[in-house]
Amino acid sequence: MFSFKPDRSQYPAPGPDGKLEVDLETGKYLKLWHGPNHPGITGNMSVELTVCGDEVVEGKTHVGYLHRGFEKLMERRTFIQVFPIVCRVCVPEPDFNEYCYAAAVEELAGIEVPEMASWIRTLILEMGRFNSYMMAMGGISGALGLGVVGQWMTYVRDIMLDRFEELTGARIYHMFILPGGVRAHLPEGFEARMEEVLQTAERYLADAENLMFKSSVFKTRTQGVGVIDPALFERFGVTGPNARAGGVAKDVRKDSPYLVYDQLEFTVHTEEASDIYARTLVRYKDLLETIQLIRQILRKMPKEGEVMTNLPNVLHWKIPRGETYIKGESSRGEYGYYLVTDGTGYPRRVNVRGPSYTHAMALLEHLIPGTNISDVAALMVSLHTYPPEIER
C-alpha cells in the first residue's frame, strides 16, 4: 500500500513560475538550508527547504559547487588522455566509467577484447560495486544515528581498497581498464587475500543486519517513509535498487548482458514497499549477492591468457566517424556513455548518463514535500546519489 502526498490545500499556492509564494514575515513558514556542509548530504549539493513547523512544504535542490566541465574537457583530449577524466566522474565507482568509455571506443574502433580481460573487468566492476554499497549502507545508518555501522562499513571498504591497490596500483582512481583490455593480470595469491576480505565483510554485515533490519527503531524511522510510487519510475527515470525496491526486477546485467555476466549466476533482488527500508534492504541483499559474484568470478575465470590486445600507438589514434551508446548496471542504477566520433584523434562528443542526475534532482524535489524535517537526510541517502556525478 503506497502513501501519497498530504493534502496540499494547506500550503500556499504556487506562483506563475511554479514556486511557492511564501510570506516569511508571518512566521508560519521558515527557510532552511540543508547542506552543503551536512553529514546527511552525500556530496557537494544543498537543498533549500521551506518548512511549516517540522513538516517540509517544499525542497529545491542546488548544485554547482563542484562543476568541473568534464564532458567539454574530453573533447580536447585524445581518446587515451580522456581516462584520467572519466574515472573522476564518480569517485565511489570510478571503474564503471572506465569500462563504459573504453567499451564505446572499442565498438567504434573495432577493437576485440581478450576473454581473460573481460573476466578481470567484470571482477573490477563487482569490487567497485562492493565498495559503493558499503558507502551506501554506512551512509543510511549514519543518517539514522547508527554510527557504529558506518564505521564497520568504512573499515571493510578500506580493506577492499587494499585489494584494489594490489591489483591496479591505486586505491581510488585506477585507470586500469583501457581500450583493448586491462593493464595487468591478477597478482599471485590474490584469490586467497580476496577471500579474507569477503569473509570479514560477511561477519560485519551479519552484525549490521541485527542492528538495522531487526531493530524496531530503524524500522520506525524507515518503513513508510520516502515512498516512491512505482507509477513514477518511468517519468523520473528511476533505475537500479531504487526501482527494484518498488518491485521492478530490472538489471542491465540480466536484461542486456555485457562482459561475462551471461556466464554468471545471480539473483536480482526486489522488494515491494518502495520506501527507505525497502531500498536499504535491496542494497543489503545486492551486497551479499556481489560477494558471491566475486567468488564465482575468481572460481570460473581462466588461469592464464592475454589481457591486452596489441594496438597501434594510442597517441595517434584516429577513430572512424560514428556514434554509440554503452550502458551497464552500476550500484546506483543504469549508467551509460554516449560517444560520437568524427574521424579525428579526439572525441566529438561524450555524454554521461548517470543515475544521480535523475535521482538527486527531479525525483528528490518530488519526494521531499510532506516529509518530516528529521527524515530529510535519511531520504536523500536512501536514494544513493552522488552529487559530483551531476557536475560533469
Helix residue ranges per DSSP H, the chain: 70-74, 83-86, 94-109, 115-143, 147-168, 190-212, 216-222, 233-236, 241-244, 252-255, 276-300, 355-358, 364-367, 376-382
Residue 5 has what pLDDT?
47
Helices 115-143 and 276-300 cross at an angle (nearest 10°) of: 150
Domains in the chain: boundaries: 8-62, 70-389
pLDDT at site 24: 60
**Cα gap 23→25, rounded to integer Å:** 5
SS3 303: coil
Which residues of the chain are modeled with pLDDT < 50?
1-5
Q: Of the candidates 190, 20, 94, 2, which has an alpha carbon nearest to the alpha carbon of residue 389?
A: 94
Are 382 and 218 contacting, i.e. CB atoms less than 8 angstroms apart? no
* CA neighbor of 173 nearest in space, from 140, 128, 215: 128
| Measured distance CA(66)–CA(82) in Å, rounded | 19
| DSSP secondary structure of 95-162 | HHHHHHHHHHHHHHHTPPPPHHHHHHHHHHHHHHHHHHHHHHHHHHHHHTT-HHHHHHHHHHHHHHHH
**Cα angle, residue 390 at apex, residues 388 and 392 outer, rounded to 5°:** 85
Place of cell 580476496: 194
Distance (Å) of CA 27 to CA 15, 49, 53: 20, 15, 10
- Report d(CA 371, CA 50) in Å as an integer: 11
C-alpha dist (Å) from residue 11 to 28, 48, 90, 374: 11, 17, 38, 20
SS3 3: coil
Q: Please, are residues 69 and 85 in contact by the beta-carbon 8 Å criterion?
A: no
At residue 106's C-alpha, the angle toward residues 105 and 112, to 5°, is 170
Tell me the C-alpha to C-alpha distance, in Å, between residue 100 and each of 251, 340, 353. Answer: 16, 13, 10
Of 30, 23, 26, nearest to 57 by C-alpha is 30
CATH hierarchy code of domain 70-389: 1.10.645.10
Own/partner pairs, 77-83, CB within 8 angstroms, 24+ separation: 77/346, 77/347, 78/314, 78/315, 78/317, 78/345, 78/346, 79/105, 79/179, 79/314, 79/317, 79/319, 79/345, 79/346, 79/347, 80/178, 80/179, 80/314, 80/315, 80/317, 82/347, 82/350, 83/175, 83/178
The whole-angstrom separation of Cα 360 and Cα 240 is 14
- What percentage of the chain has pLDDT greater than the value 90? 62
| pTM of model > 0.95 | no
